[in-house]
Structure 1
């Protein structure tokens, strides 16, 4: 899992989301995926919950963004942080 954030992360450590995706899901214009902060944990936990309808799928990120994030994680050999809660 990588975080989606609106904080001012460095463009070098994050990937912007397409405007259509941001608009479709009512996200902040500053929304970015932070690829250098990978987390490993069991779904569903106290900080990550299912949507209002009980579904664990909130939105599907475009495949080109997923591929870009995955490539950056591999290229930079990012080690996931194991979360227990």
Structure 2
């Protein structure tokens, strides 16, 4: 089944171009993310009817303050996704939640928002880390209701 621009429904592990709104920005009253960035789909769940809720974790070049807050994105995975060569991390301590496709999803060069997907072994690490934070105060910023 396809939605939004004829795009496929995102699957956990997919990497999307997304205008991510950091929790600190939302706390300061911002409503829009300042930068389009790769974001990893952590969860995609069916809501009532045909609505789909997606949770994404952001990818950033900024090293985490604490190692347990993020997982480094390996250079070969970055290459396979078509991303730059600079070190990057998937932040697992906060996520954005939105209805698919939502106005904050951004189209990249190929006409879709999809860079590709991270390998299963890496997704399992991301999911486990997000799950750990879910029990200890993960920040979920709700978007585009």
**SS in structure 1 at match of 2:94:** coil
The worse-fitting range, judged by mean Cα deviation, of 32-41 and 15-24 is: 15-24
* TM-score normalised by L of structure 1: 0.79
Moved beyond 6 Å, runs of 4+: none
Query: Which structure has greater strand proportion?
Result: 2
Residue 141 of structure 2 is aligned to residue 81 of structure 1: yes
Q: Which has the larger radius of gyration?
A: 2
| Aligned positions of 1:1-85 closer than 5 A | 1-10=56-65, 11-24=67-80, 25-77=82-134, 78-84=138-144
Query: Partners of 1:84 and 1:28 in 2: how far apart?
Result: 31
**SS in structure 2 at match of 1:53:** coil
* TM-score normalised by L of structure 2: 0.50
The worse-fitting range, judged by mean Cα deviation, of 1-10 and 36-45 is: 36-45
Query: Which structure has greater helix proportion?
Result: 1
Between the two proteins, the alignment pairs up a number of residues equal to 85
Q: Structure 1: which 5+ runs fail to align?
A: none
**SS in structure 1 at match of 2:71:** strand
Query: Partners of 2:113 and 2:78 in 1: how far apart?
Result: 19
Q: Is the 8 A contact 2:73 2:88 kept in 1?
A: yes
Q: Structure 2: which 5+ runs fail to align?
A: 1-55
